[in-house]
Structure 1
Amino acid sequence: MNTLFNQSLNVINAGLAGFADNIRQAGGEVTHLNWQPPALGDIAAGLALARLLNHPLVEAANQQAMSQYLAAQPVLVDVLAASEAIPAMAERKLILHAGPPIAWDDMCGPVRGAIIGAILFEGWATDHAAAEQMARGGGVALEPCHHYGAVGPMAGIISPSMPLWVIQNKTNGQRTFSNFNEGLGKVLRFGANNDEVLQRLYWMRNELAPAMQAAVRQLGEIELKPLMAQALHMGDEVHNRNAAATGLLIKRLLPALLQTSTSLSTLQTVVSFIVGNDHFFLNLSMAASKAMMDAAANVPFSSMVSVMARNGVNFGIRVSGTGDQWFQAPANPVEGLFFPGYGVADAAADLGDSAITETAGLGGFAMASSPAIVKFVGGTPADATANSLRMQSITIGSNPAFTLPALNFAPTAAGIDIRKVVDRNILPIINTGIAHKAPGVGQIGAGITTAPMPGFVEAIQALALRIQQHEEAQQ
Structure 2
Amino acid sequence: MNTLFNQPLKVVNVGLQSFAGNLQQVGGDVTPLSWQPPAAGDVQAGLYLAALLRHPLVEQANQIAFERYLSAQPVLVDVMEAREAIPAMAQRKLILHSGPPISWANMCGPVKGAIVGAILFEGWATTHEAAELMAHNGEVDLEPCHHYHAVGPMAGIISPSMPLWVIENKTNGQRAFSNFNEGLGKVLRFGANNDEVLQRLHWMREELAPALKAAVGELGELELKPLMSQALHMGDEVHNRNAAATGLLCKRLFPALLACNLPPDQLQRVVAFITSNDHFFLNLSMTACKSMMDAAANVPFSSMVTVMARNGVNFGIRLSGLGDQWFQAPANPVEGLFFPGYGVDDAAADLGDSAITETAGVGGFAMASSPAIVKFVGGTPDDATNNSRRMQAITIGANQAFTLPALNFAATAAGIDARKVADRSILPIINTGIAHKQAGVGQIGAGITTAPLSCFVDAIQALAQAVAAGESA
Q: TM-score range by the shorter chain?
A: over 0.9
- Residue equivalent to 1:369: 369
Tell me whether 1:206 sits opposite 2:206 in the alignment. yes
Q: Match of 1:95, SS? A: strand
- Residue equivalent to 1:335: 335
Q: CA deviation at 1:12?
A: 2.0
Tell me whether 1:15 sits opposite 2:18 in the alignment. no
Q: CA deviation at 1:202?
A: 0.5
Q: Give the alignment of 1:91-106 within 5 angstroms.
A: 91-106=91-106
Mean Cα deviation higher: 269-278 or 32-41: 32-41
Mapped to 2, the partners of 1:188 and 1:396 lie a distance apart of 37
Q: How big is each residue's C-alpha offset from its partner over 1:10-45, in whole Å with a ceiling of 9 and x where there is no partner?
A: 232322445545655776533221211111111001
Mapped to 2, the partners of 1:23 and 1:447 lie a distance apart of 34
Mapped to 2, the partners of 1:139 and 1:293 lie a distance apart of 32
Q: How big is each residue's C-alpha offset from its partner over 1:251-298, in whole Å with a ceiling of 9 and x where there is no partner?
A: 111111111131111000000110111000000000000000000111
Mean Cα deviation higher: 245-254 or 7-16: 7-16
Mapped to 1, the partners of 2:8 and 2:103 lie a distance apart of 62
Q: Match of 2:414, SS? A: strand
Mapped to 2, the partners of 1:253 and 1:109 lie a distance apart of 36
Matched AA of 1:384? A
Q: CA deviation at 1:447?
A: 1.2
CA-based RMSD of the aligned residues comes to 1.4
Count of residues paired in the alignment: 473
- CA change 1:304–1:186 in 2 (3 A) is same
Matched AA of 1:106? N
- Residue equivalent to 1:76: 76
- CA change 1:421–1:260 in 2 (3 A) is same
- Residue equivalent to 2:319: 319
- Residue equivalent to 2:182: 182
Matched AA of 1:372? A
Q: Match of 1:244, SS? A: helix
- Residue equivalent to 2:54: 54
- Residue equivalent to 1:350: 350
Matched AA of 2:431? N
Q: How big is each residue's C-alpha offset from its partner over 1:377-430, in whole Å with a ceiling of 9 and x where there is no partner?
A: 122111111111111111111100000111111111100111111111111111
- Residue equivalent to 1:449: 449
Q: How big is each residue's C-alpha offset from its partner over 1:294-341, in whole Å with a ceiling of 9 and x where there is no partner?
A: 001111111110000000000000001111100000011111122222
Matched AA of 1:96? L
Q: How big is each residue's C-alpha offset from its partner over 1:127-174, in whole Å with a ceiling of 9 and x where there is no partner?
A: 100000000000100000000000000000000000000000000000
Mapped to 1, the partners of 2:447 and 2:43 lie a distance apart of 34
- CA change 1:17–1:382 in 2 (3 A) is closer
- Residue equivalent to 1:230: 230
- Residue equivalent to 1:242: 242
Tell me whether 1:282 sits opposite 2:282 in the alignment. yes
Tell me whether 1:159 sits opposite 2:169 in the alignment. no
Q: Match of 1:280, SS? A: coil
- Residue equivalent to 2:305: 305
- CA change 1:433–1:3 in 2 (3 A) is same
Matched AA of 1:325? Q
Q: Match of 2:177, SS? A: strand
Tell me whether 1:428 sits opposite 2:428 in the alignment. yes
- Residue equivalent to 1:463: 463
Q: How big is each residue's C-alpha offset from its partner over 1:100-125, in whole Å with a ceiling of 9 and x where there is no partner?
A: 00000000000000000000000000
Mapped to 2, the partners of 1:129 and 1:193 lie a distance apart of 12
Mapped to 2, the partners of 1:133 and 1:465 lie a distance apart of 42
Tell me whether 1:120 sits opposite 2:120 in the alignment. yes
- Residue equivalent to 1:259: 259
Mapped to 1, the partners of 2:443 and 2:23 lie a distance apart of 49
Q: CA deviation at 1:249?
A: 0.6
- CA change 1:244–1:26 in 2 (3 A) is closer
TM, length-normalised to structure 2: 0.97
Mapped to 1, the partners of 2:267 and 2:139 lie a distance apart of 38
Mapped to 2, the partners of 1:18 and 1:239 lie a distance apart of 36
- CA change 1:16–1:336 in 2 (3 A) is closer
- Residue equivalent to 1:32: 32
- CA change 1:379–1:21 in 2 (3 A) is closer
Mapped to 2, the partners of 1:116 and 1:396 lie a distance apart of 41
Q: CA deviation at 1:7?
A: 4.4
Mapped to 1, the partners of 2:16 and 2:343 lie a distance apart of 33
Mean Cα deviation higher: 64-73 or 438-447: 438-447
Mapped to 2, the partners of 1:264 and 1:199 lie a distance apart of 21
The runs of 5 or more residues in structure 2 that have no matched partner are none
TM, length-normalised to structure 1: 0.97
Q: What is the identity percentage for the equivalent residue pairs of Structure 1 and Structure 2?
A: 79
Q: CA deviation at 1:446?
A: 1.3
Tell me whether 1:172 sits opposite 2:167 in the alignment. no
Tell me whether 1:399 sits opposite 2:399 in the alignment. yes
- Residue equivalent to 1:220: 220
Mapped to 1, the partners of 2:200 and 2:370 lie a distance apart of 30
The runs of 5 or more residues in structure 1 that have no matched partner are none
